[in-house]
Chain A
Amino acid sequence: MRPELKEYKFDSMLLSTFTAAAKLRNGSEKEYRTMLKYIPYFNGTVTAVLDTGEPGQLFIECISKYLENYITAREKGFHNAITTFCFSPGILYAMDVYPICLEVLSVAQTFAYRRGTAEFLDFCNEVGYTETSCSSQRGTLGAFLAGVGADVDMVLTDTPGVCDTNANAFAFAAAYLKVPFFSLDMPPVLSEARSDEYHNSDFRALIAFIEKHTGRKLDIDRLRTVLREIERQEELVAELEDLARMVPNPLPVSFNLMVYATRFLFSGMKECTAVLESMLRVASDNASRGASGLSGGVEKMRAFFCYIDHYTNSLRLWDFLDRNGICYQGNILSRSWSNMAPHVKEYRTEAAAYSFDYGDLDAMIRTMALHNSRMPMIKSIRGPYDAPDMWLQDTLSLAKMYSADCIIYNGTPGCRNTWGMVKLFARDTEKAGFPTFIMYGDAFDDRVESWEASQDRLEEFLRVRRLLV
């Protein structure tokens, strides 16, 4: 890592970047277009998001707020915690702990900077963390290890049993930075009473841990407020997902990312609800006019992303899809498993879902535990991929429900748990009639395979399989 990168806090710089981005639209259209020329590595993201109007504007403001929250948490007498995208932040907000989600910050950096997180990725290797570890955490972890992030109170993860390389990133961070560590463990089966019991006990241990390290008791009213907000957000997402089933799909390509990202940032908080409500207004308006969410207005095909997206190079994936009339039919990150989710109703999988119970404190903690244990990846990448309610079943159900023409896998080479079986998985989805493409790039690190190369291969797949004519 270059010495000059150690001169500034990376998160404060990121905060400035997104705060400035949130003001881009304040002037005239001409001023805005002119400004874009001055941010050549960020303008792809900016246009993909801000051109959606109000939702994009709110979304950018959300990122800015999120950064500010955790950077200033300590000086305001609150706490912060390094955590992961599949850890629902609701419980943390209820306890005045501001989350620092490594993966979301990695995406924010790849959105904004030409170098992405490259030097922080490398810094991890310099201090002995393996270069084969997943880049999603590594890119931001490096910044905290190098001491260029905010001071951290604790490290929390919920991926043991689901993703080793993820859990390991957090265990490493805690050992390296010498801060308290807690992990929620995920047993290999989901829909069994004893799994629910396990999640519940584990979650109670988490709350005790947070209480111990913050000196604050969990407040029942705060928890209820957060939980009500999560329920409201689930309703909104369910409505958005229902709309996505229409032909043409009225949701712009970037909406899916905004759905999951705002949830990762502000699940259980008004900020997230505001973005979702705004997206729903735009999507409903499009739907009432029978308009496609694609900027070209013509929907040529529908792709389902069975894992994560490709974030490097200023959202070039979104640009590619939008330009080619390819509708984005969701990925595993945007799904939730409350009993009101459309896919739960469609496939009668209530046994794998959870419901909101406000009966008493115990009931609410249990609800939070079940909500958390059904977060993306946590829900479906545990146990064998072909077991009930796991990755294969979810993917085939969702791809069918959202009328996908093909399934695309994109991840990172660090993803041991999917690379261990993705070939078999793809064989199964092909057998089920979905042309399936495995991308070999790294969602967070362009140096593994350049976006140009990834795009060439993706285009070739679409051509050879006659999906895009």
Chain B
Amino acid sequence: MNSAFMEAAISLNNDYVREWKEAGKKVVGYTCSYVPDELLYAAGILPYRVRGFGATEATIGDTYFGPFICSLPKAMLQLAGEGRFDFLDGAIITPGCDSMRRLDECWRKAGEDISGILPKFFFHFGVPHKYADYTVKWFIEEILRLKADVERHFGVSVSDDRLREAIRLFNKSRDLLERFDGFRTAGNPAIAGTEALAVILAGTTMSRDIYVKLLEELLETLEQSRGTLKDRTRLMLVGSASDDVNLVRLIEGERAVVVADNLCFGSRFHADRVDETGDPIEALAKRYLAKNECPRMYGEYDGRLKMLIDKADRANVDGVILQNIRFCDLHGSENGLFERDLEKAGIPCLKIEREYGPLVETGRLKMRVEAFLERIGQRRQSA
């Protein structure tokens, strides 16, 4: 695999971002997979998914956020406070969840105390929590509001043609990623989950045209290669946002392979397509709002359960790891339901609550994963 993916996945200000900036172009960060990043791209701006990776302490995060809050937005604020997102010219915050939506105030107030850490363009993007004709209408207005603000602030204009072009390009990357998924889910996977997450993640940190080229090259290499992970226990990873490839590496170890996921920084990135015909804004609104993979879309549990069971079938998984970051009630609680219903469907599950952050003390997590693999092994033997 091209090391470019992994490098982009484990560094914030990567080469692609630097080159983009050196060319005098703008970068806007966003915090949620419900932001139609095609819009930014069509405006000549690099959409960059804000991350928490690499935060080693929480001094700044804890100063502004209260104690009972998810450690991911805290890590994001920490990085921002340390100046590590100084390359961002803008940021878009959404009510993805309560912890994440409070990044709005916390980042702004930290910006009053630490100069230079708050991007000049700062936008609260109201994503509805359900799909209906009137919520789509609202969402269209919200995208138009964002478009107008972006155009005004950055002195650009986004034509429908540019937008359609961006939509086609982004759809293409989704097509390629779907093909890529085939190598993960194959009987003898050619790529481990750790690398797979890096490949997907990289797409949120670089220009999409470059990304598409890299993906095409990668797929060519994979076509030539032979799988080496046939004997490993096949897992699916589900739950809270994780942009940390090391978490997947820890889970996989020597004996397992993560062949599927439903993660915010993972396969949710390329699920569904944007309609390429008709009004592009409406098409974006419909694609993004119709995504129900995240428990923020309330009342959609049955759909998500079905999706997981389908994914598990397609990837022929031996077990599912349901993880949540502490204080993530949405994923945490839904994991409880998934555990009940997936186990009922004969799919072993391991539920884990964790903190987001550097994986320092890994023994306990590792022990549970190993015990889970042992459980799956015992199950196979008795079958």
* A and B: interacting chains: yes
B254 to chain A, nearest CB (A): 30
* B135 interface residue per 8 A CB criterion: yes
Question: How far is it, in angstroms, between the C-alpha of A205 and the C-alpha of B133 when the chains are bound?
Answer: 11
Q: Which of A157, A163, A182, A194 contacts B98 (CB 8 A)?
A: A163
- On chain A, the residues within 8 Å of B301 by CB distance are 171, 174-175
Asked if A133 contacts B333 (CB within 8 A), the reply is yes
Which residues 146-170 of A sit at the B interface, judged by CB distance below 8 A?
A: 157, 160-161, 163-165, 167-168, 170
Q: List 8 A-B contacts (CB under 8 A).
A: A130-B332, A157-B298, A160-B129, A174-B299, A194-B141, A420-B105, A421-B105, A423-B63
Instruction: Kindly list chain B residues whose C-beta atoms are within 8 Å of the C-beta of A420.
Output: 65-66, 69, 98-99, 101-102, 105-106
Does B116 make an interface contact (CB < 8 A)? no
Kindly state the separation between the CA atoms of A420 and B109 in the bound complex, as whole angstroms: 12
Whether, in the assembled complex, A242 has its beta carbon less than 8 Å from a beta carbon of chain B, the answer is no
Task: Report how far A151 CA is from B198 CA in the complex, Å.
Answer: 48
For residue A65, CB closer than 8 A to chain B, the reply is no
B372 within 8 A of A: no
With A161-B129, A168-B329, A205-B132 as known contacts, state yes or no: A188 contacts B64, CB within 8 Å.
Answer: no
Contact A198 B138 (CB under 8 A): yes
Q: Could you say which residues of chain A place their CB within 8 Å of the CB of B126?
A: 161, 187-189, 383
Instruction: Report B-chain residues with C-beta under 8 Å of the C-beta of A386.
Output: 105
Is B210 in contact with chain A by the CB < 8 A criterion? no
Q: Contact flags (1/0) for A188-214 with B, using CB distance below 8 Å?
A: 110000100110011001000000000
Give me 10 other A-B pairs in contact (C-beta within 8 A), A132-B332, A185-B129 excluded: A161-B126, A165-B329, A174-B299, A174-B301, A175-B301, A194-B141, A205-B134, A416-B98, A417-B98, A421-B106
Give chain B residues whose Cβ lies under 8 Å from the Cβ of A197: 134
State the CA gap A244–B136 with chains docked (Å): 44
- Distance between B261 CB and nearest chain A CB, rounded to angstroms: 20
Give every chain A residue within 8 A of B135 (Cβ-Cβ): 185, 198
Determine if A32 is an interface residue (Cβ-Cβ < 8 Å).
no
Bound-complex Cα distance A433 to B104 (A): 25
Do residues A171 and B105 form an inter-chain contact, with CB atoms below 8 A? no
| Cβ-defined partner of A416 (8 Å) among B64, B68, B340 | B68
Bound complex: CA A360 to CA B301 (Å): 38
CB distance from A207 to the nearest CB of B (A): 14
A415 CA / B339 CA spacing, docked (Å): 25
Q: How far does the alpha carbon of A401 sit from the alpha carbon of B101 in the complex, in Å?
A: 30
Bound-state CA distance A104–B141 (Å) is 37
Closest Cβ neighbor of A175 among chain B residues: B301
With A128-B336, A420-B101 as contacts: A187 and B128 at CB distance below 8 Å: yes
Q: A188-B126, A419-B69 are in contact. Are A171 and B299 (CB under 8 A)?
A: yes
In this assembly, does B124 line the interface, its C-beta being within 8 Å of a C-beta of chain A? yes
Nearest CB on B from A376, distance (A): 17
| Contact bitstring A124-135, B, C-beta under 8 A = 1, else 0 | 000111101100
B97 within 8 A of A: yes
Interface residue? B326 (CB, 8 A): yes
Note all chain B residues with C-beta closer than 8 A to A307: none
Give, as a whole number of angstroms, the nearest-CB distance from A297 to chain B: 38
Chain A residue at minimal CB-CB distance from B301:
A175
A interface size (C-beta, 8 A): 50
What is the interface of chain A, defined by CB distance below 8 A to chain B? 127-130, 132-133, 157, 160-161, 163-165, 167-168, 170-172, 174-176, 181-183, 185, 187-189, 194, 197-198, 201-202, 205, 383-386, 413-424, 427
B residues contacting A by CB (< 8 A) are 63-70, 95, 97-99, 101-102, 104-106, 108-109, 124, 126, 128-130, 132-135, 138, 141, 295-296, 298-299, 301-302, 324, 326-330, 332-337, 339-340, 351, 353
Bound Cα distance A176, B329 (Å): 15
Q: Contact: A384 with B128, CB < 8 Å?
A: no
Kindly name the residue among B70, B302, B327 whose own CB sees the greatest number of chain A CB atoms within 10 A. B327
Q: Inter-chain contact count A-B, CB under 8 Å?
A: 152
A contact residues around B335 at 8 Å (CB): 128
Bound form: Cα–Cα A164–B105 in Å:
17
**Nearest-Cβ distance from residue B74 to partner chain A, whole angstroms:** 10
CB nearest to A440 among chain B residues = B67
Is A421 within 8 A of B102, CB to CB? yes
Q: Is A168 a contact of B105 with CB atoms below 8 Å?
A: no
Q: Which of B141, B326, B334, B336 has the most CB of A within 10 A?
A: B336
Tell me whether A168 and B124 are in contact (CB under 8 A). Answer: no
For the complex formed, measure the closest distance between the CB of A215 and the CB atoms of chain B, giving whole angstroms: 21
Whole-angstrom distance from the CB of A181 to the nearest CB of chain B? Answer: 4
Whether A164 contacts B337 by the Cβ 8 Å rule is no
Looking at A414, A420, A423, the one whose CB has the most chain B CB atoms below 10 A away is A420
Residue of B nearest to A133 (CB): B329
Instruction: Give chain B residues whose Cβ lies under 8 Å from the Cβ of A419.
Output: 65-69
- Contact B104–A423 (Cβ < 8 Å): no
- CB neighbours (8 Å) of B95 from chain A are 161, 188
Given contacts A128-B336, A198-B138, A420-B65, contact A168 B295 (CB under 8 A): yes
B326 contacts A132, CB within 8 Å? yes
* Residue from B99, B108, B134, B336 in contact with A129 in the complex, judged by beta carbons closer than 8 Å: B336
Known: A164-B330, A201-B134, A386-B105. A172 touches B337 (CB 8 A): yes
Contact residue among A128, A164, A427 (Cβ-Cβ distance under 8 Å from B97):
A164
Closest to B128 in A: A185
Residue of B132, B330, B340 touching A168 (CB-CB under 8 A): B330
Please measure, in the bound complex, the distance between the C-alpha atom of A172 and the C-alpha atom of B329, giving whole angstroms: 10
CA distance in complex: A133, B132 (Å):
28
Cα distance, A194 to B141, chains bound together (Å): 9
Which residue of chain B is the closest to A202 with respect to CB atoms? Answer: B134
B337 to A128, Cβ gap below 8 A?
yes
CB neighbours of A385 from chain B (8 A): 105
Asked if B129 and A167 sit within 8 Å, CB to CB, the answer is: yes
The 8 closest A-B pairs by CB, nearest first: A128-B336, A420-B102, A419-B66, A160-B129, A201-B134, A130-B332, A416-B98, A175-B301
